[in-house]
Every structure is written in C-alpha cells, then in structure tokens.
C-alpha cells in the first residue's frame, strides 16, 4: 500500500510508526550520548556494524535515524545521513570520493560555500578542480581527466537558477564510473529526485525547505548504504559533524508540511516573477518557469514545479541594488532561503562575496543581481513591497539622467 501513496502522504507517514512503548504519534526526542548493551558481544556487534543499533551520539541517535530513513525514502535512496549543516553534507559527500591527487568537476554557477570548500579546503587536501558550464555537455566531457573522481552540480543553481540536464550528465558520469553528486536543496524531493534521474548522491541543506521554519542548521546526504556507512564512520563521525536530536525532531516536524509549503512557495514565486517581467527597473530575470528561461523546457521535464526562488538584476548596479534592498518594508535582508518569510540577499556582497569579482562576473553574478526567496505571505503583499522599493531605483535614475531639471523643480518648490 505504501508504494501507491502520494508525496503528501509519504512525507507524513514513511520512516516512522507510533512509538511501541508509549504509542506517541510524534517522534520521541532521544538526546542520549551513550547507550547501554545487554552484554559485551552485543556492544561489539553494534560497533562493528554486524548488528543494527546506536552506540555513541557522535555517530547518530534514534531521533536522527528516523529523519535519515524518511529522507532516504523520499529521495528514492538506499540510506541517508543527517549532519550538522548543509556545508557538512556538501564536504562529506565530496570527501567520500576525493583524496589527495584527485580532481573534481564542479558546475560553474555554484553556492559560495561550496566554492570556498572546493577552492580553499580542497586545495589544502591536494584536490584539484575545474569549474565548468555544465549546460554544455561537450565542455563537461572535455573537462574530465584520468584522476577525476566526482562531478558536483546544483540544479537549479544558486543564484542564477540554471537548469542542468541530470539524465545526460548522469550518463556521462556513469559511463566513466564517476559518481554524480547533486545539490537538491532548492527543489527538495517534492519537486525533483536526482537519484531517479541517474545521480549517485544527493545533498541538502536541510536548513532551508526541508525544515522550512528558519530555526535549524542541518544537512543531509542520500546515497547507497555503502557510501553512507563510510561517511558516518570515517568522515562525519571522525570530524564530529553529527546532528543533534532536537534539531532532527524540528526537521521531522517541518517535513510533515513540506508539500503544502513548497506548493505555496512555488505559486507565490510564479506571481512575483510575472510582476518582475514587466517592471522597467528589472533588466534581467532568472526564473525557470518563464518561457524566456534558456532551460524552460528542460525544467518542465525534470522538475515537478519551478521552485520558490526568483533572481533578478536591477538597473544601476550595486548602488541601485543596495537602495532597493534598503527600501524594503516587508521583505527581510537575510542569507537564508526556504523560510516562511520572504528573504532577499545580494549575492555579490553576501553569499558569493568570497568569489573574486572577475570570477563572479564569469559566473554571471553581477553587482545588480538580487536573489529573492519568496515566502508564504500573501503574494500581493510581497509584490507591493517589491513595487515600492523598485520605485526608488526609478527615481534615482531619473535624477541622474535629468539633474538640472530636478534642480529647477526643487528651486520652484522652495
């Protein structure tokens, strides 16, 4: 029967049954660090992996294990590990396959934290990399070397919402025996399931839509049982990246409304994008739901909806972007996304600041680019706030174009 359940049913029920001892419907929070065993042989069997069980908090706990099993099933994966941040998930997934002397291919339009890890931490470990336009499959193939041990992509990408053809990239990777790692944070398993399209590993910043309430920092890796076991014992366990029981519980609670929330995010984002397409102060708009988006048709094939993020470029560059953000009344300036609140950020000075300016421009991240995580407020209220803030840019540009006329007007008023 479970196999025929729709997503909204699965996200509530899979991975957990009412507690056998208490009958509790909600997942119990088990914050224990240590766990007792009936005898020495049982303890040894759990530690060695011969018997299922929990033996120390750094390697997981029962509450977190429920979360892992639920997300693995939602993503159509064998197993999952929940970690202390999205970057813990990204770094663990990469280090599961990369070591000194290896090479990784990374899509060029990437989250700033991932860029930092690949360029700075990766280089310290002796791992080389290439940033590649993965919409160009020929360029992707040419970038693969003998020592390439992983391909890492985001789709949609952060912040330009570039859509990559996961089926085709997976075919290229699988033909060479190279694992394909996909950051699925923007989509969630409700809108896109990369493992079903041929990917080997999925990572999430569970801080975002999976939790959905802005009160948890967490990450998840979904992959084969073998890969997850290696990450749990040799990477996350040794580096101390474990997720605690309380935050696992909050994500489990948030997941129950994932479908409801994401549908609302998508609908609001669609209305916001429609408004921005007509605004004279917006010179570029990035949203896969628009027919003008270069991968619009691919997005319709690969994704079940277009997501809750809209990125756009305002006229006037950095100063206009700052003036726009400072004028917002309802929308909050914040680094995160996927929360109930509509959040705005300026990639060039915030999430992608660490990327050198010349590289940012090569990636398409201009000084006028704004990333908007559309929240759950009424769409018309969000649009009204955008409209009044964009009007400030128009007034500034008009003053710059006609300074003498404005001086005359001001003098007559005085």
Active-site residue among 79, 109, 165, 183?
Answer: 183
Q: Which of 232, 255, 278 is the last residue of a domain?
A: 255
Q: What is the pLDDT of residue 393?
A: 85
CATH number at residue 43: 3.40.640.10
Question: How far, in Å, CA of 154 to CA of 149, rounded?
Answer: 17
Determine, yes or no, domain membership for 367: yes
pLDDT at 228: 98
3-class SS string, 189-244? HHHCCHHHHCCCEEEEECCCCCCCCCCCCCEEEEECHHHHHHHHHHHHHHHCCECC
Is 214 within the bounds of a domain? yes
- 251 and 263, same domain (yes or no): no
Asked whether residue 410 is domain-assigned, the answer is no
Active-site residue flag, 35 = no
- Tokens matching residue 159: 């912040």
Residues of the chain with pLDDT under 70: 1, 402-414
Establish if 412 belongs to a structural domain. Answer: no
How far apart (Å, rounded) are the C-alpha atoms in residues 117 and 124? 10
414 within domain boundaries: no
Closest CA to 83 of 219, 197, 207, 195: 219
The answer to the question of residue 277 being in a domain is yes
Identify whether residues 92 and 112 lie together within a single domain: yes
Tell me: do 268 and 217 sit in the same domain.
no
Helix (H, G, I), strand (E, B) or coil at 274: helix
Instruction: Report the DSSP beta bridge partners of residue 324.
Output: none
Predicted local confidence at residue 100, as pLDDT: 98
pTM above 0.75, yes or no: yes
CATH of the domain at 316: 3.90.1150.10
Rg (CA), the chain: 23
Q: Indicate if 193 and 283 belong to the same structural domain.
A: no
pLDDT of res. 405: 53
Q: Give a yes or no: residue 354 inside a domain.
A: yes
Catalytic residue among 58, 167, 253, 322: 58
Instruction: Say how far apart CA 177 and CA 399 lie, in whole Å.
Output: 59
pLDDT of residue 19: 81
Do both 209 and 295 map to the same domain? no
Which among 10, 79, 102, 111 is annotated as catalytic?
111
Residue 114 belongs to domain spanning: 2-255
Structure tokens at 37: 């065993």
Q: Residue 17 has what pLDDT?
A: 79
Co-location of 239 and 333 in the same domain: no
Q: Tell me whether residue 152 is one of the annotated catalytic residues.
A: no
What's the pLDDT at 406? 54
Q: Which of 255, 282, 317 is at the close of a domain?
A: 255
Answer yes or no: do 322 and 350 share one domain: yes
DSSP string, 367-381: TTEEEEE--SS-HHH
231 and 288 in a single domain? The answer is no
Question: 292 and 249, same structural domain?
Answer: no
Q: For the chain, how many structural domains are there in total? A: 2
Asked whether residue 247 falls in the same domain as residue 267, the answer is no
Q: In this structure, are 97 and 234 located in the same domain?
A: yes
State the catalytic residue, choosing from 208, 261, 315, 371.
208
Four-point Cα dihedral 55, 27, 7, 305, nearest 10 = -90
Q: What is the pLDDT of residue 129?
A: 98
Q: Residue 21 has what pLDDT?
A: 83
Catalytic annotation present for 183: yes
Last-in-domain residue among 255, 281, 300:
255
Task: Assess whether 111 carries a catalytic annotation.
Answer: yes
Q: What are the strands of the beta sheet with 128-132, ordered from one edge?
A: 79-83, 219-223, 201-205, 180-183, 148-154, 103-107, 128-132
284 and 165 part of one domain: no
Torsional class of 274: left (φ above 0), alpha (ψ -120 to 50), beta (otherwise): alpha
DSSP type of residue 34: B
Query: How far is the CA of 260 from the CAs of 106, 190, 340, 405, 414, in angstroms?
Result: 32, 10, 12, 52, 55
């Amino acid at each position: 029967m479970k196999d025929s359940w729709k997503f909204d049913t699965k996200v509530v029920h899979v991975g957990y049954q009412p507690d056998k001892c208490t009958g509790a419907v909600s997942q119990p929070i088990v914050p224990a660090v240590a766990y007792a065993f009936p005898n020495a042989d049982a303890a040894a069997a759990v530690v060695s992996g011969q018997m299922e069980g929990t033996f120390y908090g750094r390697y997981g706990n029962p509450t977190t294990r429920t979360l892992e099993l639920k997300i693995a099933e939602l993503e159509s994966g064998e197993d999952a590990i929940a970690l202390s941040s999205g970057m813990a998930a990204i770094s663990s997934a990469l280090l599961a396959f990369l070591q000194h002397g290896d090479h990784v291919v990374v899509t060029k339009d990437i989250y700033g934290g991932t860029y930092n890890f690949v360029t700075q931490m990766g280089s310290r470990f002796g791992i080389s990399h290439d940033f590649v336009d993965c919409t160009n499959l020929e360029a992707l193939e040419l970038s693969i070397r003998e020592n390439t041990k992983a391909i890492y992509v985001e789709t949609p990408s952060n912040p330009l919402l570039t859509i990559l053809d996961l089926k085709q990239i997976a075919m290229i990777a699988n033909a060479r025996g190279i694992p394909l790692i996909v950051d699925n944070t923007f989509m969630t398993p409700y809108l896109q399931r990369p493992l079903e399209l041929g990917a080997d590993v999925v990572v999430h910043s569970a801080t975002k839509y999976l939790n959905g309430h802005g009160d948890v920092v967490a990450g998840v890796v979904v992959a084969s049982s073998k890969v997850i076991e290696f990450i749990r014992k040799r990477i996350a366990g040794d580096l101390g990246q474990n997720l605690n029981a309380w935050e696992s519980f909050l994500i489990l609670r948030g997941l129950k409304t994932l479908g409801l929330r994401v549908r609302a995010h998508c609908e609001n984002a669609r209305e916001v994008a429609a408004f921005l397409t007509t605004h004279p102060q917006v010179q570029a708009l990035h949203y896969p739901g628009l027919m003008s988006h270069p991968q619009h048709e691919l997005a319709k094939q690969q994704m079940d909806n277009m997501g809750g993020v809209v990125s756009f470029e305002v006229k006037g560059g950095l100063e206009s972007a700052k003036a726009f953000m400072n004028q917002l009344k309802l929308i909050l300036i914040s680094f995160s996304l996927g929360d109930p609140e509509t959040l705005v950020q300026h990639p060039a000075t915030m999430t992608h600041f660490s990327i050198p300016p010349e590289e940012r421009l090569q990636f398409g991240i201009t000084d006028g680019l704004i990333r908007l995580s559309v929240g759950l407020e009424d769409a018309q209220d969000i649009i009204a706030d955008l409209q009044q803030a964009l009007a400030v840019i128009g007034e500034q540009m008009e003053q710059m174009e006609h300074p003498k006329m404005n001086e005359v007007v001001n003098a007559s008023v005085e």
